Structure 1
Amino acid sequence: MHILRCGDAATFAPLDSFRMTSGEAIPTKAQIDEALELASERLVVAGSDAALAAVMTRLMRTERLGTEVAFVRATASPVTNAYDLPHGEAAAELAATGTARQAVLIRDESGQAIVGQALWTGPEQGPLEGQVYADSEHVFTGKVPFVELLPSLEGPGVRVASGKKHGLRRRREWFDGRAVQLGTAGAIVVRDGVPAKRPVKRSSVYRHTEPMHLVRP
């Protein structure tokens, strides 16, 4: 087992006896590859959701999703919520002693893994105007503040809901699908908290053909 510490992420006492490689807050390909060479069967990623997404993207693109991955961060996040993971010292204890199990991995059409949450927003953080489908089911047509996409342990793999329009009190309606597609005049994709640099007119988020092997309760 080997630890990839991303940026200034905390690692906690249960991991003190294991070897560690330091990387950037969002690790580079070279830093991930170095840590994987030292990891043997299990890599512990200590860092943000975006750091874990970078590691999963690298594993996916290099066909190494059979590698066991544990995730340690100090506070709760979309990843810990999606996969029922602990945070803080409990996450470190799970990383050191827990069992890896298969878990759904979702990605987008650019080949980037999404491990906690993706958002579709309008340019310059404005409202999004367009049309979204989850498989063949219509999610919305029109203008909304944003669209949120999450991985799901249950069902086909991707959950999607549009943001509430200002002033409306009704509950958000969630849809499930294997693939969710957006058509729009312009949208910004935010992957695990990191916004893309350029707007797109089409975007898809879908379940990857292979699962990841995530250490989880």
Structure 2
Amino acid sequence: MRLVVLRCGTDIAVSPSTQLIDVGAVPTRQELKALDSLAAEVLPEDPTPSLAEIAAQPDVAHLGTPQYAPQPISDPLRVVVVGSDAALSAVLTRLMRADTMWVEVGFVPTTGDSPTADYWGITNLSIEEQFDCAASGRVRPLPLIRDDAATAVAGRASVSDWENRELTAEIIVDDDVLARHQSGRRIPRTGVFGARVQPLVDAPGLAGFVLDTPVMPMRRGLFGRFENEYGSIAEGSRLVGRALQAGGESLRVMVDGVSRKRPVERVTFYRHLRDAQVVQP
């Protein structure tokens, strides 16, 4: 196995015998071009069906139980991301766009609150154990969730009002309505402020939750408190499916804590045709 550590905006010590690449806290496409070269060295030509060929298949086997990568690789490439969920999202996005999802991905979170660490089952490990797991743990295929801007979700995403008010939108998971709401002028303590998107460990791929408090932190004095980055989930408001679609007025889309630069009127999150090859304990 070829092991590469991608250290994202941190100076955490790494074994001197490990191939190390230092990049920014949220690595850019230019910084991640090194992954393309590494993948090409391991698998110069991919003999498996392309994404277009998979999409044209008459069945939906590729959207069932997550599958191990079918590429015939005797000496796999494993990339260990040391950084935030946003950094991991950037790496998964690069692998997805380059169609090299066969690359094994380990994760060592450097932030205190990491939804991905919960999702991947490494939250309760010490940093030494997380490094050991990322380097020598087993690979498990997990659904890869992406949005329509081709950004991969590592641990969590959200759709909310651009101005952090109640939502005026309709949100659907597959064929079922998760939320349909028209906001008023005042900002209530609880209401319909958006939806959270989280990947699942199995089919169909994702879960959508209604958020009943503001997604972005509110200024002190408005409610006498700050809300967390993703709001709180309304009890009983959960749907699972392959895709979540939202349409409405001035929507903010956030993926792993990073907001799009401009509001949108519609967005779709859905399961990618290839699964992520995730390293877990």
TM-score (ref. length: structure 1): 0.90
Report the residue type matching 1:153 in the other structure.
V
* Residue pairs, 1:46-195, within 5 angstroms: 46-74=82-110, 75-86=112-123, 88-142=127-181, 143=183, 144-164=192-212, 171-195=235-259
- Quick one: structure 1 residues 99 and 162, their matched pair in 2 at CA, closer, same or farther if it must change by over 3 Å? same
Question: By how many angstroms is 1:112 displaced?
Answer: 0.8
How many equivalent residue pairs?
A: 215
- Quick one: structure 1 residues 10 and 36, their matched pair in 2 at CA, closer, same or farther if it must change by over 3 Å? farther
SS of the residue aligned with 1:206?
A: strand
- Quick one: structure 1 residues 11 and 104, their matched pair in 2 at CA, closer, same or farther if it must change by over 3 Å? farther
Per the alignment, residue 66 of structure 2 pairs with none
Question: By how many angstroms is 1:30 displaced?
Answer: 2.5
- Alignment pair present for 1:203 and 2:267: yes
SS of the residue aligned with 2:163?
A: helix
Comparing 194-203 with 169-178, which one deviates more in the overlay? 169-178
The CA distance in 2 between the partners of 1:169 and 1:196, in whole Å, is: 22
Larger Rg: 2
The CA distance in 1 between the partners of 2:260 and 2:213, in whole Å, is: 24
Report the residue type matching 1:73 in the other structure.
P
User: Are the counterparts in 2 of residues 3 and 35 from structure 1 also a CA contact under 8 Å?
Assistant: no
More strand by share: 1
Percentage of pairs with the same residue: 33
SS of the residue aligned with 1:174?
A: strand
- Alignment pair present for 1:42 and 2:66: no
- Quick one: structure 1 residues 101 and 71, their matched pair in 2 at CA, closer, same or farther if it must change by over 3 Å? same
Per the alignment, residue 186 of structure 2 pairs with none
- Quick one: structure 1 residues 99 and 176, their matched pair in 2 at CA, closer, same or farther if it must change by over 3 Å? same
Unaligned residue ranges in structure 1 (runs of 5+): none
Per the alignment, residue 4 of structure 2 pairs with 2
User: Are the counterparts in 1 of residues 7 and 83 from structure 2 also a CA contact under 8 Å?
Assistant: yes
Question: By how many angstroms is 1:165 displaced?
Answer: 5.6
Report the residue type matching 1:8 in the other structure.
T
Comparing 31-40 with 186-195, which one deviates more in the overlay? 31-40
Report the residue type matching 2:27 in the other structure.
P
User: Are the counterparts in 2 of residues 164 and 172 from structure 1 also a CA contact under 8 Å?
Assistant: no
User: Are the counterparts in 2 of residues 117 and 148 from structure 1 also a CA contact under 8 Å?
Assistant: yes
Report the residue type matching 1:158 in the other structure.
L
Comparing 99-108 with 170-179, which one deviates more in the overlay? 170-179
The CA distance in 2 between the partners of 1:91 and 1:28, in whole Å, is: 24
User: Are the counterparts in 2 of residues 6 and 23 from structure 1 also a CA contact under 8 Å?
Assistant: yes
Unaligned residue ranges in structure 2 (runs of 5+): 43-76, 184-191, 215-231
The CA distance in 1 between the partners of 2:209 and 2:234, in whole Å, is: 13
TM-score (ref. length: structure 2): 0.71
- Alignment pair present for 1:19 and 2:22: no
- Quick one: structure 1 residues 169 and 179, their matched pair in 2 at CA, closer, same or farther if it must change by over 3 Å? closer
Cα offsets for 1:110-135 (capped at 9, x unmatched): 11111111111101222221111110
The CA distance in 2 between the partners of 1:149 and 1:58, in whole Å, is: 20
